[in-house]
Chains A and B, each alone.
Chain A
Amino acid sequence: MKKLSRAVIIIAAIMGAAVPAMAQGPKPESSLNNPLALTLVVIIAALALIIGLLAVVVYGAAEIELKKQKTSKPSATALTILALLIATAAGAQDAAPAATAAASDNVGGLSGSTYYILMAVLLVEVAAIFFLLFQLRFLLGAAKPKITEASTSTEGAVEYKPAAPQLSWWDKFNKFRPVEKEADIDLGHEYDGIRELDNRLPPWWLYGFYITIIFAVVYFYRAEVSHAAPSSAEEYQAAVAKANAQQEERLKDQKNRVDENTVVLITDKAELEKGKTVFMSTCTPCHGQQAQGIVGPNLTDDYWIHGGKINDIFKTIKYGYPEKSMQSWKDQLSPVQIAEVASYIKSLRGTNPPGAKEKQGELYTEDGSSAPAADSTGTAKADSTKPAVK
């Protein structure tokens, strides 16, 4: 009987909170794909569960209190709680039309009315939780002095104490039964000396399980039925679109627009140092620590397979020559970086490192015969510094 009434209350608690949410069911259906709406609905569901949980706890506390007073009228508390819950539902429904009338603008992509309705439900739920908490505090507060009273009044009787053990929050949280009373729930059989108790499921565990199930249903619905959540491919497309927008922004800066036609040899020490860093982390596996060449060609001599002009080197790095096993770096190095590393490579000319690979490709001299006027100055500048290095 008691179990039944308790179950009814729990269900009523959940329904009480869920009804307003459901009442809005048809309305936000179109906006159920909206992340904000969904978040709110999930929060509402979670709060509903918390209300249910609290209702059980309050009920239990009330029962203890009632037992103490020897007035066995648990249904009274039940009615109180039930009334409260009905009020919750009713309150939510009252709030709804008011909100609808008030709002017409958009909030977070939701129609205003939907948003305010959801928020109203949420607020009412929060209020209900506070109310339940208050009740609980009241009930527990009532219980406490009783215990101390009992223990002081029966100072002589030592064995009376364990009869009213103090429950810690942890005990309540898990619905622990005092160890001394576990004989009541012993199932009465044993396997090789192992006995089993029939403790209740820890409420937080059970409600946690429900929450994960709700999560699962919502997640799967969003991902695979309504397709409100982006698929893996859509997430990728969004990331690329964002990156492209950033890239466009970047290209507004003339400096970043450097390409194989406009590149100019860099001689600034600091920038060459940057080029060196890139070289060390990117080029050495094939060209060696000192550009002496391993499977890639030696980059310090005057022989070049794809041309030795700064523009040619830039182009080689940027697009690669896949058929000759030089890969394209345009997706991994920025144009500025390519210019820096190309210039760094040119700065290594004539360093003649140990173990240098034999010459490959055509002899290239810095006469700039076919170079456009734009970069001939750069080349010339670099050229003039060369003899000193030699």
Chain B
Amino acid sequence: MQLEKFYYDNKIVRSFAYATVLWGVVGMIAGLWVAIQFYAPGASLNYAGTTFGRLRPIHTNAVIFAFVGNCMFTGVYYSLQRLCKARMFSDLLSKIHFWGWQSIIVLAALTLFFGMTTGKEYAELEWPIDILITLIWVAFGINMFGTIIKRRESHIYVAIWFYIATWITVAMLHIVNSFEIPVNLFKSYSWYAGVQDALVQWWYGHNAVAFFLTTPILGLMYYFLPKAANRPVYSYRLSIIHFWALIFLYIWAGPHHLLYTALPDWAQSLGVVFSVMLIAPSWGGMLNGLFTLRGAWDKVREEPVLKFFVVAITCYGMSTFEGPLLSLKNVNAIAHFTDWIIGHVHIGGLGWNGFMAFGMLYYLIPKMFNTPLYSKKLATNHFWLGTIGIVLYAIPMYWAGFTQSLMWKQFTEDGVLQYPNFLETVTQIIPMYITRSIGGALYLTGALFMVYNLYKTVKQGSFIGDEAAEAAPLEKAHSHGKEYWHRVIERKPLQMLVISLIVVAIGGLIELIPTFLVKSNIPTIASVKPYTPLELQGRDIYVREGCYTCHSQMIRPFRDEVARYGEYSKAGEFVYDHPFQWGSKRTGPDLAREGGKNPDSWHFMHMFDPRQVSDKSIMPRYPWLYQNDLDISTTPAKIRAMQTLGVPYEKGYDQLANTELETQAKKIADGLKEDSKVKQLMTVEGMANPEKKEIVALIAYLQRIGKDIKAEPKSTTVQASLK
């Protein structure tokens, strides 16, 4: 057989690797910055773009899609070529993919900074960027499949199964969750409303964790771990079982983010049971990783790459055990909305994703530059700093979550809340927030060590842009008689793609379709009416400022929450909420029944400087809302968009909307002026026309939330939903 000579493209791998390092550091700095704002609210700089509500989505998007995304592509482009014994299908597509993805990241950072957001966690990017992501993802897919098809290896290795499942599932999740109706270039409304929006969003959100942060990285593990340890993969049949079980079960688990919410109970129960069943397939990956190191543990002692991998896989095992635990309703009742969840995701993020990325970079940069790593010692120091950082991050978060949850739920002997003032439960855990940020700072310092170490390695080495390799061309695939049944599909990547799609689609379809079609799932409440134009504009400001990153709008059916916030939330209350704003974290109190709780004047004073009103509040200031005029030119388009989505505004209302908006704003502003303190503040701020300012719209919205059913607390099933 004639051997064919060809070259691996290392240049594209290098580009992605550099991007990984750059965005990793950027994302971690953003993270540290938001962490500091928890105990030093002044760190928001009283500037819109750097306030928690906008910076937190920048942090999450940067670490997930920029850092881990580029890490995934680095690993895929490196390993795929070698596992297929072929150069990437198209150098041009590789470049389009690389530059396309980097421009998405830059656009994401800019738009989020300027408050352009859909208000759906981990899917905040506005519609033009969503389209760009789809295009670039397709380019990546063509490039990947082109390479797989022209491979010189008869079977595709387990790492590639994971890449295929990742590609198809992320495509499905992104497209379904991003259905939105544009108002203009920078603003859109989610196609779905309320409960349905929540279900789609967490079906997406949970599986973004599964198929963006887990499956591709498992693929990387299956390549880089056996390479670095020079050991065979422990068990092929474990690979098969855990792969298929993982992708099938994962997709169902989304509703565990919505336990005790207004989501129908049956969907919640599905979320619980599938999460519990996920333990084994997740641990299958961990075991296959750790057991691969059998007979190589002596190497772990010396090799920093393996050290990183071992801790990464261990963290993966811990967080995938904790996840199902958190999905049990009684545990979730304690943990949800608290910092426990933040601790949980950072075990996964810092431990699993971060350490896999670091290990991989320490492995492949020296390989591509044909030189040993500049300093193993420095890498080991990075390892220890990072590990201590994770511990210092996670433990305070668990502690804080537990403490706060217990305080929320504590009743006195007299049967009233022990801590009726939410703020008390916040000031209690400030020391934990401080410790957490120290942990984060250590982790970041470690990453900076790596930057220096890799820089020196690159300097001392000589880059092999096109790495020569040779292999025999692919023969006509044939079976050798007796073989593992799974070997058949390993010769047929496209069939594998289709089967993966079917396997991952099942769970989603079974959960989503009934929620959309069966009306009894969301009983309509007659008194729930669409927002007024001013409230709608105010709601968009609420979304823009990322209020949902700290405030939930979902009162769960617990005695303590009903005592603290009011009647628990009903599914029918959210039918006009495009997007839903239930939130996932309560750094501040729930706002689902905020309407009418505090006077307009209180909101006016509070949003200007929360610490003038509540001494120890950690909420940021929003002074720009007192300066910016509300942009009412968008009102008609917004009303029309809502009409398209089925919100029952009367025909032609878009033309009347602004008149009504101004009347309502005037009324609120006049009321505000009656208060002497408010008036004083208006004078100081030089607010000549307070009724025109954004703050008035926001107050209008806040005063509306949850008010519709205060009059009639019992939900009744009335005719058809959504008109």
A interface list, Cβ under 8 A from B: 174, 176, 179, 182, 186-187, 189, 191-202, 205-206, 208-209, 212-213, 215-217, 219-220, 223-224, 231-233, 235-236, 239-240, 243, 246-247, 250, 256, 281-282, 284-286, 289, 293-296, 322, 324-325, 327, 329, 331-334, 336-337, 357-358
Contacts and interface: CB of A to CB of B under 8 A. Distances in A.
Interface residues of B, number: 79
B82 A192 contact: yes
Contact of B294 (A176, A201, A281): A176
B632 interface: no
A58 B621 CA distance: 69
Nearest to B224: A194
Contacts of B412: 334
B355 interface: no
B234 A239 contact: no
B563 A286 contact: no
Given A205-B283, A243-B559, A286-B602, A336 B414 contact: yes
Contact of B227 (A193, A198, A213, A284): A193
B559 A236 contact: yes
Contacts of B232: 182, 186, 194-197
B280 A208 contact: yes
Contacts of B678: 295
B113 interface: no
A282 B420 contact: yes
B613 interface: yes
Contact of A201 (B237, B266, B421, B605): B237
Interface string B407-442: 000011011110111011000000000000000000
Given A195-B232, A336-B414, A205 B280 contact: yes
A353 to B, nearest CB: 14
Contacts, number: 185
A65 B564 CA distance: 67
A281 B172 CA distance: 49
Given A219-B269, A336-B414, A197 B233 contact: yes
Interface string B599-618: 11110111000001111000
B226 A239 contact: no
B227 A194 contact: yes
Interface of B: 79, 82-83, 85, 153, 155, 157-158, 223, 226-227, 232-239, 241, 245, 260, 265-266, 268-270, 272-274, 276-277, 279-281, 283-284, 287, 291, 294-295, 329, 411-412, 414-417, 419-421, 423-424, 556-559, 562-564, 568, 596-602, 604-606, 612-615, 675-678
A256 B414 contact: yes
B276 A284 contact: no
Contacts of B568: 236
Contact of A332 (B235, B236, B563, B604): B563
Given A195-B232, A281-B421, A202 B287 contact: yes
A223 B415 contact: no
Given A205-B280, A294-B605, A215 B273 contact: yes
Contacts of B613: 285-286, 294-295
Contacts of B235: 197-201
A214 to B, nearest CB: 10
Contacts of B291: 174, 176, 199
30 contacts: A182-B232, A187-B236, A191-B83, A192-B79, A193-B227, A195-B233, A196-B233, A196-B236, A196-B239, A199-B234, A209-B277, A215-B276, A219-B276, A223-B265, A231-B265, A232-B329, A233-B557, A243-B415, A281-B420, A282-B420, A284-B615, A285-B614, A294-B605, A294-B677, A295-B598, A295-B599, A295-B602, A295-B678, A331-B563, A337-B414
